[in-house]
Structure 1
Amino acid sequence: MIDVQLLKQPLDDLAATLGTGMFQGVDPVREFDQVGTTLQQVCDCGLAAVKEIEPAWSGLTAETALAEGRELARGADALANDSQALSVNWLAAIESVLRGVGELALIGASFVNVLQNSRELLSQPLGQLVLLKEALDHLSRALDVVLRISAELSVASGNISAVGSASAVGGATMGPPGGGLPGSGLMGSAEAQQSGFPSTHSASYAENGPYSASDSLAVGTASVLLPDGTVAQAPTPQAADAVRNALSQQGVPYVWGGTSPGAGFDCSGLTQWAYGQAGVDIPRLAHEQSIGTPVGISEAMAGDLVVWDGHVAMALGNGQMIEAGNPISVSPMRTDNMGQAFHGVYRPTS
């Protein structure tokens, strides 16, 4: 007889690995914001002092002193921006972990529901095999979530480590801060240094929140961790998010006209939903999704759309794509599809 509690244990272990996203003691975001405010005040005071002194003092000594004052103000301003960047990236990391915790909780609850209705399955060998398949399917979905969140945290960790590398006060370069990311044992990797979160922030968190679409567009390409363990590049952070969204639906069945995550998608329903969750609206029908910038098949990046007359898939990079077959799955890149006319590869976010 199968021990049903052992079947759920791997899901619990994955959830424990991801952590909670919560931290105790001092709130780093509040501290970053307070430091940034103080440094901005120092900058403003320095520039005001220079402006006041400049017309009343002349000579070589005056020029040297005024130049030093301006340099100090510039350094304080740069450090204030660094503090803002630390706050933004820390919040982005917290958001990733909390989103992953919620997704894992839903997967765990789904499997608990299966277990609660498994008494009849356990009484026969074939039923036990069905239950094992359900366990593996749920574990695969949970692993996809952890891999995706791990990639997001690697990007945030790289951004945090890079903050301060160009900041200087009086010629002294400020080194990067230490420490990991909140609520997780998952640390950054060198392969994910390309930015997927904003590294600068022109407005206050109170006005615009921790992360906005304009921040993403200013950053450029983003890394995406694929199911086979390789890392691909997306042209924009929104495209990277769309890829992660699509990958989260692996194993979901094909449903004609389907647009429901976890229940069923058709090909264009999957791509429209994946981009919609990333904040990018694209048309509903497959042949209408040939939008944005056309690119060559050899130049396809993660998030690009591969479009035929009656089918659409999403490129993953590294010679792979994800599409709504039955079920949704990863497959090699191709240009043929059951004799349908190939429209090409299109980049919606450029």
Structure 2
Amino acid sequence: MIDLLSRPIVELLGAFGGGTVPSGGPADVLRLSSAAIEAAQGIGRIAITELASNWNGDAADAALRYAENAHASALALADHADDIAAVVDRACRDTEQGFVELQAIVQSFVGIALSAGPIIATPIGQTMLISAAIEHLERALAVVARVRAELAVHAATAGELASPPAVPAPIDSGPAAVPGSPSNLMTSPATAQVIETGEKLAKTFAQSLSQTGGTPDSPGAGGAQHFLGNSAMDSPGAGDADRGVEVRLPDGSTVTAPNAEAAGAVRSALTQQGVPYAWGGTTPGTGLDCSGLTQWAYAQQGVDIPRLAQEQDIGSSVAAGDVQPGDLAVWDGHVAMVIGNGQLVEAGDPVQVGPIRTTNSDMAFKGFYRPTQ
């Protein structure tokens, strides 16, 4: 019976793998690449000095300018690799922490069961054990939801790093360019391969984070899959500030949030679908009220908003026709989060998705607000 009741938690633990990241992983490879680029840059610095002292004229000046740009690009590429490695490290640390917490939850439940002794065979003992199993499973689900929200933020950051720094354009792309001259330096196959490999690695990392935990069922399903959410956890697109960050909704459609924080808040809020409403509730996976849901979702992105619903009218006011995912619909006693496609997510009973509206019982509607701007 102990094995049967602990199985759901053990299965969640298995989703975290072995709990440790072996050496020689993506972060280590990126740092080695960064060190190699910096070493090459140091050699290039010496070459620039020699070039300046032994070559004069307009062609020399053009070559020096190009070499200086290449030097700056090498530094930028090295920093870019270090930035991606830092994101990988943070994601690994969050995953390892979740693994440790789930291990402790499993050990706690088994300890309770073993300490019960012979009473476990009685109806009272079995009732106690089932209650303990439910409580421990809720704790485990909360850990998984938190880790998924953290990984969604890292995926968004990795997506933003998918494009490598710019490299110098050729000095002259016309037919008069001399083979082997500086104008062909940064367009060599080797350089292009390094840039392409770095871009693919960043995109692959963002995609792999978005796929952690498999494909959950629809919001009406029960158990762990019901709690963990839906395909909205897919990685955001690597867009610039004008295009925003993409979010996949439960119905499979894709919407664009104004920034990574808003996109992450939508993803976090959607993980709580099916969680019961609780007056004053602030505990994900157990019980949330309307403002508890929105405050928690934004807190996962490092954005602090007030606790009370009527006080969450912060940031910039947004017209009804201009709302985007992550915007908050605020009443004088209720708040909901816009997720796009004419929908919002809110802590009803339970947390659920519904159409955007501006009415809620007899409450006065204060408007739509964007906390991140």
Query: 1:241 aligned to 2:241?
Result: no
Where does residue 194 of structure 1 map in the other structure? 237
Residues 114-149 of structure 1 show CA distances to partners (whole Å, capped at 9, x for unaligned) of: 98999748989xx9x999999998898788668757
Backbone CA RMSD of aligned residues:
4.7
**Distance of aligned partners of 1:110 and 1:31 in 2 relative to their CA distance in 1, 3 Å threshold:** same
Q: Is the 8 A contact 1:141 1:250 kept in 2?
A: no
Residues 139-188 of structure 1 show CA distances to partners (whole Å, capped at 9, x for unaligned) of: 9878866875775676567567x354855752132322466659x79759
Query: 1:321 aligned to 2:364?
Result: no
Where does residue 227 of structure 2 map in the other structure? none
CA distance in 2, matches of 1:58, 1:345: 63
CA distance in 2, matches of 1:343, 1:31: 51
Query: 1:273 aligned to 2:296?
Result: yes
Alignment length, in residue pairs? 323
Letter matched to residue 308 of structure 2: L
Where does residue 171 of structure 1 map in the other structure? 187
Normalised by the length of structure 1, the TM-score is 0.68
Residues 281-340 of structure 1 show CA distances to partners (whole Å, capped at 9, x for unaligned) of: 222322221111122334332221110111111222233322223333333322110021
Question: Shift in Å at residue 33 of structure 1?
Answer: 3.1
Q: Helix, strand or coil for the counterpart of 1:322?
A: strand
Where does residue 172 of structure 2 map in the other structure? none
CA distance in 1, matches of 2:367, 2:272: 24
Gaps of 5+ in 2: 169-184, 213-230
**Distance of aligned partners of 1:158 and 1:5 in 2 relative to their CA distance in 1, 3 Å threshold:** same
Q: Is the 8 A contact 1:304 1:347 kept in 2?
A: yes
Q: Which structure is richer in relative contact order (CA contacts within 8 A, separation 6 or more)? A: 1
Question: Shift in Å at residue 22 of structure 1?
Answer: 2.4
Q: Is the 8 A contact 2:41 2:71 kept in 1?
A: yes
Query: 1:302 aligned to 2:345?
Result: no
Normalised by the length of structure 2, the TM-score is 0.64
**Distance of aligned partners of 1:294 and 1:156 in 2 relative to their CA distance in 1, 3 Å threshold:** closer
Letter matched to residue 24 of structure 1: P
CA distance in 2, matches of 1:111, 1:219: 49
Q: Which stretch of structure 1 is more off in the superposition, 302-311 or 273-282?
A: 273-282
**Distance of aligned partners of 1:11 and 1:337 in 2 relative to their CA distance in 1, 3 Å threshold:** same
Q: Is the 8 A contact 1:224 1:233 kept in 2?
A: yes
Alignment of structure 1 residues 85-104 onto 2, 5 Å: 85-95=83-93, 97-98=95-96, 101=99
Query: 1:290 aligned to 2:313?
Result: yes
Q: Helix, strand or coil for the counterpart of 1:175?
A: helix
**Distance of aligned partners of 1:314 and 1:83 in 2 relative to their CA distance in 1, 3 Å threshold:** same
Q: Is the 8 A contact 2:156 2:260 kept in 1?
A: no
Letter matched to residue 237 of structure 1: A
Q: Is the 8 A contact 2:280 2:292 kept in 1?
A: yes
Q: Which stretch of structure 1 is more off in the superposition, 336-345 or 23-32?
A: 23-32
Query: 1:79 aligned to 2:77?
Result: yes
Q: Is the 8 A contact 2:152 2:210 kept in 1?
A: no
Where does residue 349 of structure 1 map in the other structure? 372
CA distance in 2, matches of 1:328, 1:145: 17
Question: Shift in Å at residue 341 of structure 1?
Answer: 1.3
Letter matched to residue 196 of structure 2: G
CA distance in 2, matches of 1:110, 1:219: 49
Q: Which stretch of structure 1 is more off in the superposition, 47-56 or 88-97?
A: 47-56
Q: Helix, strand or coil for the counterpart of 2:84?
A: helix
CA distance in 2, matches of 1:153, 1:311: 30
CA distance in 2, matches of 1:185, 1:349: 24
